[in-house]
Structure 1
C-alpha cells in the first residue's frame, strides 16, 4: 500500500530509494581495498614522534647557550611530552634511531638490567634500531642486555636491524663468540623490518647502521651490509610484497653539511621507496626537515633534549607531504612524570649496589666545587689548542697512580688523553660522581664493568716527541685524535709541513719546570686502554712516516695491552673516570668541600699553537722526515734540470 505525504510531498518509497542511492554512492566513494598498498586516504594523517642518540640520559642535564645556563632533558619530562602528543593523536608512532645506551652511569647496568630498552618500553616506544654504541660492551654485553630486557617481563620496543649480518665460516657456522648474540637477538625477536598499522595505514619500519657508524663499532663482531643496497631491497619488499603505505627508516647513519658525507641524504637519493628517514648518529638537530625528492629526513638532536614531531599525509599524487614538523624542547616547563621518576630511582639503587660500591662512591656524592666554568663540551676539540679540562684529566691520572703506589711510585713522564674520549664537561658549581662519569664514560675493561682502565706503557724519548707530532699533524685530518698530554710542553706551527709542525718539545712538571728529552731513554706513560691501543695505529695513519711502539718496562713491544692494566685494592681496575673523581677529592677544602684550583682556569703552555707563515719559521729546523723530503725534491729537480739540459744540447747539435 502506498501512503501519500501531505502537501505535495514525495512518497516514502521514493524517499527510501533516494536515501539508499546516496548511501551506495558514499560507500563506493569511500570504499578501500585493504589488501593493497597505498590505501591511505589523502585526508588521513600520521604523526611520527622520534628521538635518537639518547645515550642513557635518564636525568636532566645542564646546557650553556647564549651566555645562559638551562636545564633540559630527562626521561620523566620526555615522557610527559610524549603523553601530551599522544593525547592529541593516540595513533602516533614513537620511534628511536639508535645509540639509546652509553653515556651516563645508567650504562653500568646495561648488561645486567638493560635499563634503556626497558625505559623506552615504559614510555611506549614502538621501535628502535641498534647504534654503534649498543656494541660498546661487545657481542657478549649486547646479548646479555637483550636477554635482560626480554626476560624482565616489562614492555619493550621492537628492534629492527636490517643490515646487521652474522659472519659464517666455510661450513656456514656462526663463530662461537657471536653465537650467544645471535640467540639473544632471536630471543628478543630482533627483525629485519616491522609492520604496524595506524588508522588503517600500513607502516613498514626498517633499521640501518651507516658506514661511518659501523666503523665506530670495530669490536662488535658482526658485519654490516651496505646500507643503501640493504635499504633498497627491504623497502622494495615492504612496498611490493607487504603492501605498506608508508616506509620509515630508522637510520643510524647521520647527516653532514658536506653533502658527500651526508649518508642519510645519499640513502634518500638512492632509495626513493623510503618515505621518511629518522636520522641518528651525527647528533644533528634539524629545525626544518631535509627533503630529498619525496623523502623526508628528520633529526631531533642529542640526549633527549628534544622530542621530534612529524605529521604527514598523502597529497593528491599519493606522495607523503609534511603538515607539521617541530622539535619540542624538554625542559622544566614540562612536569616530571611520577612513575618514570620512580623507575629511575630504582635504577639508581641498582647502580649503587652493582657498580659504585666497587669504588666506595655514591651516585649523587659531591666530589668538589668548581668556582668557574670549564670549556663547554660543544666547544671542546673544535680548535687545535690546549684544553684546561684535558690538563685536569691528565693530571688526575698521574696523581691517582702516584697515590696508589705510595713509596713504590715510579715517576710518570706523561699521561695521554684523546679528545675523542671526553664526553662532557664541568660547569661552575658542585661536581658529583655522576658528573665525573659522564665526562669519561666510554669503554669496558677485562673485568667486564664500565670504564676503560688505566695502564702503563713505556715510550722512548723520540716516541714521546712523536706523540706531540701526531697531535699537531693528524688532528687537522681527524679531530677526534687531538691529544691532551700532561707532562709535556710543545710548540707547533700550523703553517709548517705535515709531520714537521712541532718546533719544540720538552718534559714539563706540574709547576712548569721544563727538561730536555733524551731520545734513547725509556719514559713511563699512563693512558687509558683504548688510547694506548690506538697509538700503534700512528704508523698506519701517517703512511709509515711516524712510528710509536708501546713497550713494557723492559723495553719489549707490548703484545697484550691488558697485561699492563693498573689495579687497586688487589684486583680492581683503576678506571679513567675514577682517577678524575679521586683527584677532585684531593683538592683543598672550603666548608668541607674540595675546591678546583684556579690553576685549571688558565692555559699552562702545555700546547702552544702558532700560525706563523714567515718563510724562515716554516722552513727552519727541518726534522729527518722533511730533510729526506727535501733531498728527494732536490734530486727530482736535479733530474728535471738534467733532462732539460740534455734536450737543449741535442736541439743545438741538430741546428
Structure 2
C-alpha cells in the first residue's frame, strides 16, 4: 500500500513538473529595455526651465538609480546606448585621459553602445587614445569600410578594444542580437576622421542576414546613430522600411523626443531626446509569429524625484577636481565658480536651430565675441555665431564657468586644449551681404547654419526668391545706429574656428552657387586659419572665455553678482522681416538667382504658349477636315 501511494505521489509530481514546463514553454517570451542616446558628457545633473519652474534634471547618478531599481525588479533588463555619449560638458576634457563617459556606461551596467559623430570630434588619434583608457564594453559599428579607411592606429585600437558589427546577449530566455550603425547625416558630421563608411542601410541589411545565417536569436535590435525627423521621412524610418527583420531601433543623433514609438511594419523606433533629461523604457512580448508586440513604452523624466546614487556622486566630485587641475587652472577658472547672475530664461537649443529670426541668446553670444576683441584692443566690426555651435542655454539663476563652457563646448584648438578658439578674418562688404543672405535664405534648409550676428543687421522679405530675400544690409551698433556697407571694403570679422571654416567651405558645399571668401588684412584669401587665431597672451583665446569675461563685466545686482542686463531680455532688430507680395517688392533689385528664375519662368511660359498654339492649330485643322 505504501509503495502504491509512493508511486502515485511520484507520478503526480512528475506530471506537475511537466505541466509547469509546458506552461513555461507556451508562455510568450518577454523583454524589457532601458535606453539612452546623445548624453553628450552630461554626467552631472543640470537645471532646466519648465512649467513647474527651474528643475534639476538628468545626471548619471540618477541614471544609476534607475538602472539599479529596474534590474532589482527585472534582472534580465537590457540596457543600451545609441551613441554620442561624449562631447558637451567639461567632462569631455578628460576624454583622452581616462575615457570618463565610456567608463561610466560600463560601470552603470550597459550591455552595449555604438559610436556617434561626436566621438570623432577630437580626431582619430584622440579616439584611439580614449579606447586605451576605456573599460571593456561591447562597442558596435556595422558600416565602417576598413578597405577604404586610412587610420591604421585607430583601426588597431578598435581591434584591441573589440569593436564588432554586432553582438549577441542573452536576457533570461531571450537571445538578442545588437547591431550598431552610423547614419549618413552623422557620417557627414565627422570631418575629423580618416575612416570611410559604407551605406548604413545596406550594411545593416547585410549584418542582419549574417545574424540570421549564423545565430539563432529571438530579437534583433539596432543601435542607430541616424535619427528621426518631424518634417520629413527620416533615416531611421527608411531603415525600418528597408530592413523589416529589425524588431527595435534605438534612434540617436537628432535628439528627438518620441513620446510614442514610430512603427513601420513590425519594427518599432524609439527615442528619448538628449542630455539624459529622459531615459527610455520599452517592454515587449513575443507573438506567435516570433515577432514582438509593444506592451509598454515610457520616457522616465529624470527629475529630483529620482534619488542620486551617492557612490556615483563621489566619483563625479573626484572628476571635477581633476578637471580643475588639468584644464581650467590653465585658464584661471574653476568648474563650479559662479561668475554672474541671470534673471531670465533664454531660448532653448532647439529654438536656435528650428525657429527663424532673431534670438536673445544668439545676440548675447555674438556680442561677447566683439567685447572680447575690444578688451584685447583688437578691431572687429562684426561677430558671427552659427546655431551649430550653440550647445546649451541659460536659465534663471547663478551662472557658473561650467554653464559658460556648455554653451560653446565644441571642438579643440591647435594647442590641444578643448573648445574652439576665436578667429579674426576679413570679409568684403559684398561678402558680408552674402552672409546676411545665407541666414535669410538657407537657415530653414540648413538649420546648423542659422546665423546670429553682432555689428550686422538686415531687412528681408521671406516671399522673395531664394538667395534674393535680403532687401537691405548694414552695419548696426548696439544703440541701433546704421552705417552703409561698401562692397569693396574689407571688414574685420570675429568668429570661432568652426564658423570660419564653414564660411570658407560654402563654395564647395553649394556647388559653386555661394562663395564667401575669408581674407587676411591684405585681401588675400585665408589658406591657414590657424594664422588667424586670436591669442590671449601666449595661448589661444577660447570662445567660452570670451562669454565668461563678458558676463563678469556687467555691474553687480541685488544678488551681489555681475548681473545680465535687461538689454538681453529683448530683441534688437538685427533681423527685420518686411513681408510683402507686392510685385515691386518681390522683383526689385534682382540678383543673378532671381534673374535666372525669371528667365526660367518666362521660358516655361513661352513653351506653354507655343504648345497651346500648336494644339489649337491641330484642332482647327481637324475641324476643317470634317
Structure-1-length-normalised TM-score = 0.88
What residue number does 1:279 align with?
Answer: 251
| Secondary structure, aligned partner of 1:323 | strand
Q: Conserved in 1, the CA contact under 8 Å of 2:466 and 2:593?
A: no
Residue matched to 1:165: 145
Q: Which of 272, 284, 298 is 1:326 aligned to?
A: 298
Change (3 A) 1:628 1:258: closer
Q: Which of 86, 89, 92 matches 2:71?
A: 86
2:4 equivalent among 8, 11, 20? 11
1:64–1:376 contact (8 Å) kept in structure 2: no
Match of 1:580 among 535, 541, 547: 547
Deviations 1:107-142 (A, max 9, x none): 111122211011111211111111111111111121
Which residue matches 1:348?
A: 320
2:188 is aligned to: 215
Shift of 1:295: 2.0
Per-residue deviation, residues 186-224 of structure 1 (Å, max 9, x unmatched): 221111211222223322111111112111112222122
Asked if 1:554 is matched to 2:522, the reply is: yes
Partner of 1:369: 341
Distance 1:447 1:144 in 2: 17
Q: Is the 8 A contact 2:181 2:200 kept in 1?
A: yes
Q: Which range moved further: 460-469 or 534-543? A: 534-543
| Partner in structure 1 of residue 41 of structure 2 | 56
Q: Which whole-Å deviations, capped at 9, do the CAs of 1:21-55 have from their partners, x for residues lacking one? A: 63785598479xxxxxxxx8634422211111111
Q: Out of 629-638 and 325-334, give the one that drifted further.
A: 629-638
- Asked if the contact 2:48–2:395 (Cα under 8 Å) also holds between the matched residues in 1, the reply is no
Alignment of 1:160-199 (within 5 A): 160-168=140-148, 175=150, 178-199=151-172
| 1:509 equivalenced with 2:477 (yes/no) | yes
- Contact preservation (8 Å) 1:236, 1:273: no
Q: Please name the residue that 1:431 is paired with.
A: 399
Residues 1:312 and 2:297 aligned together: no
Q: Which is worse superposed, 61-70 or 457-466? A: 61-70
Partners of 2:30 and 2:174 within 8 A in 1? no
Cα deviation for residue 540 of structure 1 reads: 4.2
For 1:312 and 1:139, locate their aligned partners in 2 and report how far apart those are by CA, in whole Å: 38
* Residue 201, structure 1, aligned to residue 202, structure 2: no
Find out whether 1:301 has 2:294 as its counterpart: no
Q: 1:390, CA displacement in angstroms?
A: 1.4
- The Cα shift of 1:527 comes to 1.0
Contact 1:124–1:157 under 8 Å retained in 2: no
In the TM superposition, residue 546 of structure 1 has moved relative to its aligned partner by 3.3
Cα deviations by residue, 1:451-479 (Å, 9 ceiling, x for unpaired)? 11111211111111111111111112212
Q: In structure 1, how many angstroms separate the alpha carbons of the residues matched to 2:396 and 2:282?
A: 37
Structure 2 equivalent of residue 153 of structure 1: none
SS of the aligned residue for 1:165 comes to: coil
Distance of aligned partners of 1:149 and 1:21 in 2 relative to their CA distance in 1, 3 Å threshold:
closer
Find the counterpart in structure 2 of residue 487 from structure 1: 455
Q: 2:361 aligns with which of 376, 382, 389?
A: 389
Name stretches of at least 5 consecutive residues in structure 2 with no aligned partner.
none
Aligned to 1:47: 32
Q: Tell me the CA shift for residue 362 of structure 1.
A: 0.9
Call closer, same or farther: CA 1:271–1:644 in 2, change over 3 Å: closer
What CA distance in whole angstroms lies between the structure 2 residues aligned with 1:218 and 1:297? 28
Tell which deviates more after alignment, 13-22 or 513-522: 13-22
CA distance in 1, matches of 2:336, 2:235: 39
The CA distance in 2 between the partners of 1:648 and 1:613, in whole Å, is 34
User: Structure 1 residue 436: deviation in Å?
Assistant: 0.9
What's the CA shift for 1:337?
0.6
**Counterpart Cα distance in 2 of 1:510 and 1:206:** 52
1:34 equivalent in structure 2: none
- Residues 63-107 of structure 1, C-alpha deviations (whole Å, 9 max, x = no match): 223373322111111111111111101121111111111111111
Q: What is the rounded CA distance, in whole Å, between the counterparts of 1:498 and 1:162 in structure 2?
A: 39
Q: Which residue of structure 2 lines up, in the alignment, with residue 589 of structure 1? A: 556
Is 1:604 equivalent to 2:572 in the alignment?
yes
**Count of paired positions:** 621
CA offsets 1:247-271 (integer angstroms, 9 cap, x no match): 21111111223453x2222222222
Deviations 1:524-566 (A, max 9, x none): 1111111111113333455534321111111111112122111
Is 1:108 aligned to residue 80 of structure 2?
A: no
The equivalent of 1:478 in structure 2 is 446
Equivalent in 116, 134, 148 of residue 149 of structure 1: 134
Q: Which secondary structure state, in structure 2, belongs to the residue aligned with residue 582 of structure 1?
A: helix
TM superposition shift of 1:378:
3.4
Q: CA offsets per residue over residues 378-426 of structure 1, 9 Å max, x none?
A: 322322211221111111111112212x3xx3x2121111112111111
Task: Flag the 1:529–1:17 CA change in 2: closer, same or farther, 3 A.
Answer: closer
User: Is contact 2:426–2:520 with CA below 8 Å preserved after alignment?
Assistant: yes
Gaps of 5+ in 1: 32-39, 151-155, 169-173
Moved more, 72-81 or 190-199: 190-199
Q: Quick one: distance in 2 between partners of 1:26 and 1:645? A: 85
Q: Which residue of 2 aligns with 1:74?
A: 59
- In structure 2, the CA distance between the partners of 1:628 and 1:214, relative to structure 1 (3 Å rule), is closer
1:414–1:485 CA contact under 8 A, matched in 2: yes
CA distance in 1, matches of 2:12, 2:592: 97
Give 1:296 deviation, angstroms.
2.5
Q: Map Cα deviations across residues 482-522 of structure 1 (whole Å, 9 max, x no partner).
A: 11111112111101111111111111223222211111111
Mapping of 1:633-652 within 5 angstroms?
A: none
Aligned partners of 1:73 and 1:331 also within 8 Å: yes
**Bigger mean CA offset, 638-647 vs 455-464:** 638-647
**Residue in structure 2 matched with residue 414 of structure 1 by the alignment:** 382
Given that 2:336 and 2:402 are in contact with CA atoms closer than 8 Å, whether structure 1 keeps it comes out as yes
Choose from 227, 241, 260 the match for 1:269: 241
Greater displacement, 126-135 / 315-324: 315-324
In 2, the alpha carbon distance for the partners of 1:118 and 1:358 equals: 26
Q: TM-score, normalised by structure 2?
A: 0.92
Deviation at 1:368, TM superposition (A): 1.2
Q: Tell me if the contact between 1:42 and 1:315 (Cα under 8 Å) persists in the aligned partners.
A: no
Q: From the superposition, tell whether residues 127 and 645 of structure 1 become closer, same or farther in structure 2 (CA, over 3 Å).
A: closer
After superposition, the C-alpha distances for 1:547-605 in whole angstroms (9 at most, x for unaligned) are 211111111111121221111121x2111111111111111123642111111112222
Contact 1:376/1:427 (8 A) holds in 2:
no
CA contact (8 A) 2:115 2:182 kept: yes
Question: Per-residue CA shift, 1:139-166, capped at 9, x if unaligned?
Answer: 112111111114xxxxx42211121233
Q: Which has the larger radius of gyration?
A: 1
SS of corresponding position for 2:152? helix
SS at 1:381 equivalent: helix
CA displacement, residues 280-318 of structure 1 (integer Å, 9 cap, x when unaligned): 112222223223222222222221112222222322332
Q: Determine the structure 2 residue equivalent to 1:135.
A: 120
